Amino acid sequence: MPTASLFRISALAGVICGLSIALGGLSELLAGDKTIASGYLNGVSPAFGLAFLAGLYLAQREAVGRFGAVAFMLNYLGLALFAGAAYARNFVLVHMEKSEIEALLAGTHRIPFLGAALLTLVGTVLFGAAMYRAGIVPRPAATLFVLGFAPVCLSFALPAVVNRTGHLVAGTGIVWLALALWSMAANPPKPDLPQTGEPSHLLSGR
């Protein structure tokens, strides 16, 4: 698959992810509580986020360097775990009684949920910092990405209104980054020339 097509597919996944997160948060802000729509939107959005995150990193992998590579891996692994937690929360736990959920999370079963949230938080902050430093994507978009996801990851410790506002901010940042990735598809990064030790004019055939 051509690199440009890969970036566009990834960008499309990012738009879907960002809109799902933002609309889910907005619907809860307006309703003052969770809604059926927000449950579906928040439950499936991380899956699209994984596809988007991979393309977002590949489009700027050289600019973000080794630090960005490590940050991306932490962000990707955290989001993968977070996706499972979000799916369980919105499609499984929502059908359980509050007492059952409290009993379930009172023991060691709480650790995977907390671990996924904290790993996603650390990865998001580091990858956002790497993107901000590289300057390939709009820095305000990278800032919204971090500022929005921070309260989302810490939803277990923050008021619901802060979490829902975080969804709206994070979704906006993701859509902005996705549109930037789409525009980058027209000029995909070129692979490095092989390090053969030969003069550059020999590599170019002249």
Per-residue pLDDT of 3-28, as tens digits, reads 888 899 999 999 999 999 999 999 99
Q: What is the per-residue pLDDT for 89?
A: 80
Stronger pLDDT, 39 or 98, i.e. the higher one: 39
Q: What percent of the chain clears pLDDT 70, i.e. is strictly above it?
A: 89
**d(Cα 175, Cα 61) in Å, to the nearest integer?**
20
Model confidence band, residue 194 (pLDDT cutoffs 50, 70, 90):
very low
Rounded to the nearest integer, the mean pLDDT of the chain is 86
Tens-digit pLDDT profile for residues 145-189: 999 999 998 887 889 899 999 999 999 999 999 999 999 887 755
Residue 112 pLDDT greater than 60, yes or no: yes
Mean pLDDT of 92-117: 77
Residue 190 pLDDT greater than 90, yes or no: no
